[in-house]
Amino acid sequence: MQIDKNYKPEFESIKDLILDIAQERSAEHLLAMIVNRLAQRPHVALARIWLIKPGDFCEKCLLRPECPDQARCLHLVAGAGLALNQESSAGTRLDGAHMRIPIGVGEVGRIAASGEAEELNRLEKAADWIERNDWARGEEILSFGGQPLLYKGEILGVIALYSRIDMARVQEGIFWLRMIANHAAIAMAHARAFAEIEYLKKRLELENVYLREELDQTHTSTGIIGRSQVLQNVLQQIQLVAPTDASVLIIGESGTGKELVAREIHRLSSRCTQPLIKVNCASIPSELYESEFFGHVKGAFTGAVKNRAGRFEAADGGTLFLDEIGEIPFSLQGKLLRVLQEGEYERIGEEHTRKVNVRIIAATNRDIRQEAERG
């Protein structure tokens, strides 16, 4: 392609953007960088990126009646623009009617459905092309160009430009938008892969810490051996409950093998390839229970010198064995109930809610039912 010498400054800026896209590993930073750099081009009123994600706003979504499949939709994740009217910010916000777009609905939705680019010109004659026509007129927007974010045949989302010039007159602009979309899709896929690798790396480090603790505490015995009728009854109950995801409470005197029963339940369960994390509730100081279970962020309290994952996070996907559960203080039971029922918790000092999928096996040498009846 021959580049006009008058077009060279814009060519250089787009080239620099493409090079920077290739260097960015954070998906969030990548998206923000793309829309902000595109919005610096003189004729661009607004740059936006939507990504295809599971539906999460269906009950309140203004476009729900038009949504053919509420399993997935387009989420507006990045937007930037240089407004002519300094009081107008509607286009750059991430809320509004177009914060979620059903796949196949409207210009952006059709791009996500077909994987084909769209270009519209003479938009002053279109009545329904954008959320707020008064905003569009005030910003002197004349055309729209959208490209799918495609990676190995998968449509990840849509990138769109709202322009103050007729895009049909600037074919180079359409060419560069397609090239930016291609590089952005590759970078998005790589950013997701980097994020998953980082997550798995931290998970392995976390499991390594807890597994070392387990090795230090593990007995040499590797199974349950015995022929008594009582023990055979216990083994039958283990085989009955192990394949389910039900929480289990093991009651017995100290030294009777409650931990062996817990390990056998985990071994025979569908979670056997995932970690079994043990917590001795009797050995945790009362002021550290919440941190031990849910973790904390740096600076959350005196002595919190770095972020720390809790036992629930370490056991995600596997089993958490709470030995001597009767020693857990009453003040923590509400938070434990929430994570057991909803699978949600927060680290100390953190507002972000985390999700977890954990099976609970608990053990105690106390008669909890009798204690509950006594109050």
Identify the sign of the CA torsion 167, 169, 170, 174. positive
Backbone angles phi, psi at 63, to 5 degrees: -100, 10
pLDDT in tens, 39-54: 888 788 888 999 988 8
- Burial of 322 (C-beta count, 10 Å sphere; 0-12/13-18/19+): buried
Q: Which residue has the tokens 């798995």?
A: 200
CA 59 – CA 362 distance, rounded (Å): 38
pLDDT at 238: 92
Q: What is the pLDDT of residue 92?
A: 54
Contact 292, 336 (CB under 8 A): no
pLDDT in tens, 237-271: 999 999 999 999 999 888 888 999 999 999 999 99
**67-98: per-residue pLDDT in tens?**
766 678 888 888 888 777 655 554 555 555 67
Residue 361 pLDDT greater than 90, yes or no: yes
In order of 93, 189, 312, 357, the CA distances from 259 in angstroms are 54, 43, 18, 21
What three-state secondary structure class fits 357? Answer: coil
* pLDDT above 70 coverage of the chain, percent: 80
DSSP 8-state secondary structure symbol assigned to residue 282 = G
Is the pLDDT score of 219 beyond 50? no
Q: Is the dihedral of CA 66, 68, 71, 74 positive or negative?
A: negative
Residue 1 predicted with pLDDT over 50? no
**Predicted confidence (pLDDT) at residue 32 exceeds the cutoff of 70:** yes
For 310, left (φ over 0), alpha (ψ -120 to 50), or beta? Answer: beta
Mean pLDDT of 195-221: 70
Report the C-alpha gap between 267 and 56 in whole angstroms: 36
Please tell me the least confidently modeled range out of 13-17, 189-193, 303-307: 13-17
Res 316: pLDDT:
92
The single-letter code of the amino acid at 301 is: F
pLDDT at 85: 66
Backbone angles phi, psi at 290, to 5 degrees: -65, -40
Higher pLDDT, 32 or 374: 32
Query: Among residues 245, 321, 247, 339, which one has the least CA distance to residue 277?
Result: 321
The pTM for the full model equals: 0.56
Is the pLDDT assigned to residue 29 strictly greater than 90?
no
Encode 18-54: b = buried (16+ Cβ within 10 Å), e = exposed: beebeebeebeebbbbbbebbbebebbbbbbbbbbee
Domains defined along the chain, listed by start: 5-194 (3.30.450.40), 218-374 (3.40.50.300)
